[in-house]
Structure 1
């Protein structure tokens, strides 16, 4: 953009020519008596499965590239990835006479180069247009035309979709193309709408789509557009202003005096294209009214206009279109377990529980509107004969009437009465009813067993231990946490052994010291020791009986009854796995199964085929990275590293970075997983070019002064790093920049005040992502970590992946499935204390490759009780679904047969319905909630000498146990096969693993498939060489993107390669 255009863009951005979407809708709705014109570009038809102009250009570029590079198709399959486009463009730029990227003549040049024959060009468009399905936007636009909101539609498209949509109404389309320009002067009769195809109609006309053809807009149509826009309001949707001939005509029209208003609607929240800026500036200079409307997608605008302007039967018709636009969902069947012999037993820490069926409900007159939870806690104090919570505008309590009146003195707006407890409320694990019951049960057990308690925590005052942290002494008591969980049709009490700490003066221990002591005690409390701790508490709590009154010693009808034995599950043996006698599983009430470790795909050593291996390190050592053909072809023959490092650490860092070129062996404790590191070049098949401090690709940022405050020092450090990155990039082209943060900067990593939170890492990542710069942060102490083999593997993988290379992918099952990570980020320092950014829709293909993601604002969020999680309205969810659908279509010009959406918390009804509407055209949609359950633990068993005993290793990774019709536990974290034969490997080797709790909120896919997909995606975080992460990559990345994405939301709904934020 030149200086003049930049000035214009700033003017458009700062003055009243930018009209918010809601204001645009109001402007149209108060002028319904004035018929408007529409100008539709390719963007309006994307949701009808017609590729945009930009998508077409990249398809043609790829076709030209691949026809000149046969055998490389697999590495250029995902056209939405920026680096795929960059590599294609890099080759095209070397071809004589080819236009540069972004050149206004790209469209015409590449279609002519790809398909020189007119018949081939027609066939290209015909194939897409015949497969098109009318979107809700076109169907609603037809209803608006029926109500005379639109009198004329201009379009640069060849698809004829507006005419198809009008066929559903009583309006007759008058189609005007290059062979019927004379119709443009006729006056429409009542019930007619002129539809003008400016570049022709593939059914009748010689299409105009090459550069020379597009340049020659038909003179009659040109004059008609100029004259009509002088007097009639024009709404532009889905059009970028790519065609000079049309933009020249519009500029001529809006340079004349006239009453016609221009509303140019842009899809994202970013700045308008240069041509649009110039047009609006010209219109305003001539005294015309012209607006730029950001964030205006075609389908969404039509919906908003219809709901704002239509009434009666037409409005009902539109509501019916919206309701029926989504993917139809057949009734879901219950999760099942495959038949087979039993291979093992896993024992839980959960005991069936029967809770009181009612509670007291009342409303004190003094009950406040705000701060009600604190008010109730302070009222109860440390009483042990009453537990109460605020719920549904009242206080609910378990205790005696006497204790209620003693605590809540004064008049009552509503006197205490017994009301039934809805057990379905127990599904909300941090909900008020769960809070009431678990704390009431803790008080009842503590009173019956003469144990001290605090909330849901009980501890044994006998036999305390003594522990020290940095000379500070603490008393440590064995303790147990109580949880209440609802699973399927049953309620469970779950026990989790822990400790309670006190300082020498009896006060609670600081959190950091408590964490250190717990790590020392529980870090190696593996399967058998954990089982012994649970058994100890089971005997102590339930040895004298399993019925507990609340309050303890009072028989007022609030009774808890607990099964004495924990629930266990029989696990179906995998093929080839040893089985156990049936009698061993006779008492198991649950049944589960195991999933095999998913395979990864690598290129063979010769680079001529693909090889699978479930182990990422072994697969790479034995073979080559998945995209090795790029290296072999010479298109990407090395990785150039840039370094940002403060001057005092430069010499030591340079010396230590050479370790990436040197071999290393794993420590003895890591040989169950790691293999020898052979050096970067040997591992990845290409050299890593590491600079020296005196090189152009090494920069030292300015140092913050030691006398700066934390806030000013952190900002200075962030600006210094960014300035160094800019200097490096202007001097030398590199693939990825390593940013070394010294220990001296520990005080300048982040700060938080009442009005702001600032993080150096996130700020730099957001800045670099917008510029397409890949970065890797590295703490100074990482380079001195004694686990040198691990550090070399992990850092090398990160550098390779962030250079936009593909080390490995999942061996897909062959189904046409795509995955979406769905995350939100809440900025508590935003306007009104709350600003939400949707941080993914992050798209993954069936091979687990993270593709593009899209950041978009949430207009009308709702929140849970603790204001921690944000939920979407139906309209917001529909827009998210539409953007997901558009991303898929832009990547492949086709929708996947099945889409799986992963989310960290529940899908509420509005979200489900809105997403299904937005994903119209996708045959199957699964919505799966995935959380790490902090309560449920299972202990693994093994046959020893014909007897079933507790194993030393935890539950196997890939174990699945249904706990309800739509719920299951899945062990992504657990024991797995080690590299050494007959050994087992437990990643991290800490205590015993927590399962993921998965809930299917929509869809009919079977449990085995859903669990296999989650297990596979847990192996696809290229920022780690671990066998897996404890959540699928869909959730790992979407959460991180959402957090950093807050800093990028002013830059529109742009797509970025997620590796820029890894």
Structure 2
């Protein structure tokens, strides 16, 4: 059972001062006859377009830094990154004249230092206030005031947002300030909202520097606050407690007897700040009720209060206001469009048009299984020529006689024929598609004399190859997997050649045995062999006729019939950069079902060797070698002059590791098989232009990790993780390296982690989570890496990891559209939890238009909806995620992006779309894209022969090929053939089989397909954890899912944001 109040320890023991958010809402709701007052700080106005006090301080610090270090503006554009802030602060500290970070007088000091002229300080705020608009939190304050639930708004803000919001409602705002405090003496009437503006310690000038009269007037306002809190509950939101004058007034207020409760609402689920906790304890010591409430921000807080406390028409009005904050057409989705080009090429699929039966049998059951419904139906059917699936009732293909024989007296009512609609066939994992596929596979197996699992696989009985492994011999059979896919409104059968593996007893081995055997055989099944395999299955299954027919049950005259076209679907790909015109034979024209376009390889940005200008290259290693990393100006200016490495290593391997690490300065050449992509590694400093500091054993930067005493996997894994954590902590406090290198010997292999039915533990993830919370970057190094025979590759990859984790930037995307934000949404789900008690964490990872990972924030999905094991968000959860994205980007740029692009691996539900739209209000354009690696569709590339007709290509479909499937879905080859070092030669990364395209489904947005695909292509080059030319997914999804897995161990939500380089 979740407790509403959680303990917070202090010096004298534990006190229950933290009140959960839901309990707070109920507390206010049960006493809504007593009007509330609210005290707002700058945090309440962030979503309205105004920076927080902390963000203002950092903007002033950056401005001071950049005007003293001109030419570094691009390197310091992302102010939310901790590494950027740290470098600015280090420079400020080195000057010896600025206050230390976090000191109470930073705000007043830095605004005066940045803008010594008072009128300049006023101008700074005047422009920000002019463009600000009251967001939903302020609007709901007014709705609560209209209902008589909110009587006054107090604030040190001088943005006037509460009064401006009230002017749009049936309210008269009574603005009270130091120059109009007499208004406090008159009683307020219904329909009036008091808006009291306090000066605080600093506005445009320090309070102590204002006139004696002004200070007296401010003191009168503070006294009025004391009187207000005596009997009126006070909600504090968005306020850090920065002003001593205000905090002194609150101390005085809650030292007096009274009935007014203090609810201090903080952001995030961390512990209350010490000054706030002290105030709450002070209030309690004087007999007052006071609580700290962790929240998700001012807007979310007011939304919860309004929806809980308002009723009837007023609640509907609040819901309408929430829905109206985002334009209603934000969820409009524009159909994809592909331009035509004279030059082009053809690509050939493994998809064949199919007509499925237009009806199925349907009946109900008297008694339904209480669990394992699908499995129970399969068991009931047995080995009959009958398939059945649950879908509201039971749907079946077979004969009525077999249905009666299988289900007997449990059949309720008649067995009827019911039509199959196109929507029934829309979902590949849907019940109707499953039913059709089972029937088709069985019919195919019976007609062709093949073996089948009765669900999706067919295989030949003859053994293709016998494979010997240490634990036995395995028989390998040629197989095909059958998929049913709706493409462009037409049903297709997708035929995927595969293998089936059996042990000597005829049983299927586990995947860890079968998959390597399959990869060994299929890994080099490129265009030619793959095409041969598809044609072989096509001939065996479909024969030579233009159309093949399969009836289920087999050999049943009144059965259900499938009809399959023998020729596969083709796509025509246009070449915008030109090429030989393509002549398509007339007989092939009807087979071209789709069209697409070939996109150029995205360029990356680096620095020239002087650190004075940006240069471009498509190849990350060549870009580094021929030039310098993007942030080389930091090295050239002495702002980050070296990279300091710390080491954690067991004593037994110290000498071996020390010797190996010296190779970082050596040159290595790639093996012959890698020379089509990899370049010579010249040594770390020669490559990156940056000295690297490596420690020696027994030096301060080298920490010996003790040996674990435990012997079993569970105890040993936990002990190893804790020993590594303690070693890192000691190293960080004594040496403060930029990156900690952790050596993991083979003899600890059994201590990497463990997994049981009830729990799992991974040393790597545990250590990463420990270090993330402390801002420590780590790199694991396994013993087998030392003996890898591809040391050129190893040192390129390891050197990049150390450079990046030292909070450096190797490259960015060459993208001039700096007004967009890209967001990857990832989830971590505890599948061992009981149904209904799943813990779901959401990861929002924001990337700039240049592909730079800005910030990662973890958020708890309060009401997850689990569908087929995948978590989805409720509308409220999605709105909170949208709010978080909005705030994170504003923190980074002090402005909202014109466009936000959301990437997710699962569909966007209606609730998710509407919630994200509402949370992202103020953003002009929103794209919501579902992106997955297609597990079934494969295409073969072709070349244009001298006569203009298509010919077979030995290389795969080119990377950057994007092809429209229907109005809202497309295929994109992020993985495919491209040019690496020599533009005249093709390069296929990994050289494994046929590359799988990404399938992209648009759920909202209007960005042209070519632009959208180009962005995904570019983001596939922004994983700084690899020197590969690209990854198979865009960095938004690659990072968000990996981070969510480690982030699930942090148990910190809301306010905590992290640099994602700490996770990789």
The TM tier, using the shorter chain, reads: over 0.9
> Which residue in 1 is equivalent to 2:1060?
1058
1:646 alignment partner, one of 644, 650, 664: 650
Give 1:290's aligned residue: 290
How far off is 1:1034 after superposition? 0.0
After superposition, the C-alpha distances for 1:55-104 in whole angstroms (9 at most, x for unaligned) are: 11110110111111111111000001000000001111123342111111
Shift of 1:212: 5.8
Q: Counterparts of 2:470 and 2:954 in 1: how far apart (Å)?
A: 32
Which residue among 987, 995, 999 is the counterpart of 2:989?
A: 987
Q: Is the 8 A contact 1:108 1:211 kept in 2?
A: no
- Which residue does the alignment assign to 1:232? 232
Q: How does 1:49-60 map to 2 (within 5 A)?
A: 49-60=49-60
Match of 1:1035 among 1034, 1037, 1042: 1037
Q: CA deviation at 1:575?
A: 0.8
**1:159/1:200 CA distance change after superposition, 3 Å:** farther
| Conserved 8 A contact 2:181-2:217 | no
Q: How many residues align?
A: 1049
Determine the C-alpha separation between the residues in 1 that align with 2:361 and 2:367: 18
Aligned residue number for residue 3 of structure 2: none
- Report how far residue 997 of structure 1 moved: 0.1
Per the alignment, residue 766 of structure 2 pairs with 763
Aligned-partner Cα distance in 2 for 1:79–1:753: 43
Question: Is the alpha carbon distance of 1:556 and 1:293 closer, same or farther for their aligned partners in structure 2, counting shifts above 3 Å?
Answer: farther
- The CA deviation at 1:105 is 1.2
- Stretches of structure 1 that go unaligned for 5 or more consecutive residues are 1-5
Unaligned runs of 5+ in 2: 1-5
Name the SS of the counterpart of 1:17 in structure 2.
strand
Q: Is 1:1001 equivalent to 2:1003 in the alignment?
A: yes
Aligned-residue RMSD, C-alpha:
2.0
Matching of residues 198-209 of structure 1 within 5 Å: 198-199=198-199, 207=204
- Equivalent residue, structure 1, for 2:622: 618
Counterparts in 2 of 1:388-407, with a 5 A limit? 388-392=388-392, 394-407=393-406
Q: CA deviation at 1:414?
A: 4.1
Report if the CA contact (8 A) 1:348-1:567 is conserved: yes
Indicate the residue corresponding to 1:851 in structure 2.
854
Task: Specify the alignment match of 2:921 in structure 1.
Answer: 920
After superposition, residues 460-859 of structure 1 pair within 5 angstroms as 460-462=460-462, 464-470=464-470, 472-543=472-543, 546-583=548-585, 586=589, 587-705=591-709, 708-830=711-833, 834-859=837-862
Match of 1:1024 in 2: 1026
Shift of 1:211: 8.1
TM-aligned CA deviation for residue 287 of structure 1: 1.4
The aligned residue for residue 3 of structure 1 is none
Corresponding residue of 1:958: 960
Contact 2:9 2:15 in 1 (8 A): no
Using the TM superposition, give the Cα deviation of residue 658 of structure 1 relative to its aligned residue in structure 2, in angstroms. Answer: 1.3
1:457-478 Cα offsets, whole Å, 9 max, x none, are 0011135322222262222211
How many Å apart are 1:779 and its aligned residue?
1.2
Contact 1:229–1:260 (CA under 8 A) maintained in structure 2: yes
Q: Which moved more, 1:1025-1034 or 1:414-423?
A: 414-423
Task: Show CA shifts across 1:904-944 (max 9, x none).
Answer: 01000000000000000000000000000100000111134
User: Which is worse superposed, 542-551 or 871-880?
Assistant: 542-551
Whole-angstrom CA distance in 2 between matches of 1:558 and 1:215? 89
Distance 1:582 1:457 in 2: 35
Tell whether the 8 Å contact from 1:215 to 1:245 is kept in structure 2 after alignment. no
Report if aligned partners of 1:839, 1:1041 keep a CA contact under 8 Å in 2: no
The answer for the alignment partner of 1:870 in structure 2 is 871
Q: Does 1:38 align with 2:20?
A: no
How far apart, in 1, do the equivalents of 2:216 and 2:72 lie? 38
What secondary structure is seen at the aligned counterpart in 1 of 2:94? coil
1:310-354, Cα deviation, whole Å (9 max, x unpaired): 223322221211111124436433211122114211100000111
Q: 1:572 and 1:644, CA in 2 relative to 1: closer, same or farther beyond 3 A?
A: same
CA contact (8 A) 1:838 1:855 kept: yes
Q: Name the CA distance, whole Å, in 2 between partners of 1:295 and 1:887.
A: 16
The normalised TM-score by structure 1 is: 0.96
Deviations 1:413-440 (A, max 9, x none): 3442222223324343222222211111
Please say if residues 457 and 479 of structure 1, whose CA atoms lie closer than 8 Å, have aligned partners that are also in contact.
Answer: yes
Alpha-carbon contact 2:878-2:915 (below 8 Å) kept: yes
Which range moved further: 674-683 or 351-360?
351-360
Counterpart secondary structure, 2:1028: coil
Q: Which residue of 2 aligns with 1:122?
A: 122
| Cα separation, 2, equivalents of 1:701 and 1:38 | 53
The match for 1:77 is: 77
C-alpha distance in structure 1 between counterparts of 2:200 and 2:474, whole Å: 83
Post-superposition offset of 1:410:
2.6
Per the TM alignment, residue 745 of structure 1 is displaced from its structure 2 partner at its CA by: 1.4
Report if the CA contact (8 A) 1:856-1:1049 is conserved.
no
Q: Hey, what's the Cα distance between the residues in 1 that align with 2:695 and 2:929? A: 46
Secondary structure of 1:302 counterpart: helix
Structure 1 stretch 802-811 or stretch 221-230: which is displaced more? Answer: 221-230
What is the CA–CA distance in structure 1 between the aligned matches of 2:432 and 2:820, rounded to whole Å?
39
Cα separation, 2, equivalents of 1:414 and 1:85? 72
The residue aligned with 1:190 is: 190
Residue 550 (structure 1) shift: 1.4
